[in-house]
Amino acid sequence: MFESLKDIKTIQDIKLQKARLRYEAILAENKMMESFHSIGQVFSIIYTFRKVTSGLSYVYQTYLKISDFVSRLFGGSKKEKKADNQEETVRY
């Protein structure tokens, strides 16, 4: 910080340094406000509800895929046999 003050030789340099410091202060303030906004968002009820429902949706979709895979692997022939048996009982 003080190294940049050594380069000041004119009033124009002072104005430039002042503008640079204001810019850095605005950047720091914006970062801080973004952090506060993020913290507030994490603890809001709506955000928490969205995260929970998206997690449950993911778990449910995974369950459906696994159960479909298992039913294809082990139960595919049973379904066909059941359908054949039902058709035979209807015919008689």
Average pLDDT over residues 24-52: 87
Q: To 10 degrees, what angle do helices 76-91 and 45-74 make?
A: 70
Q: Indicate if the pLDDT at residue 88 is higher than 60.
A: no
Q: Indicate if the pLDDT at residue 76 is higher than 70.
A: no
The first and second tokens of residue 28, run together, are 């720091």
DSSP 13: H
- Residue 71: partners with Cβ closer than 8 Å, 6 or more residues away: 79
Q: Indicate if the pLDDT at residue 43 is higher than 90.
A: no
pLDDT band at 8, cuts 50/70/90? confident
**Which of the pair, 88 or 28, is modelled with greater confidence?**
28
Q: Indicate if the pLDDT at residue 87 is higher than 90.
A: no
The first and second tokens of residue 92, run together, are 């008689």
pLDDT band at 38, cuts 50/70/90? confident
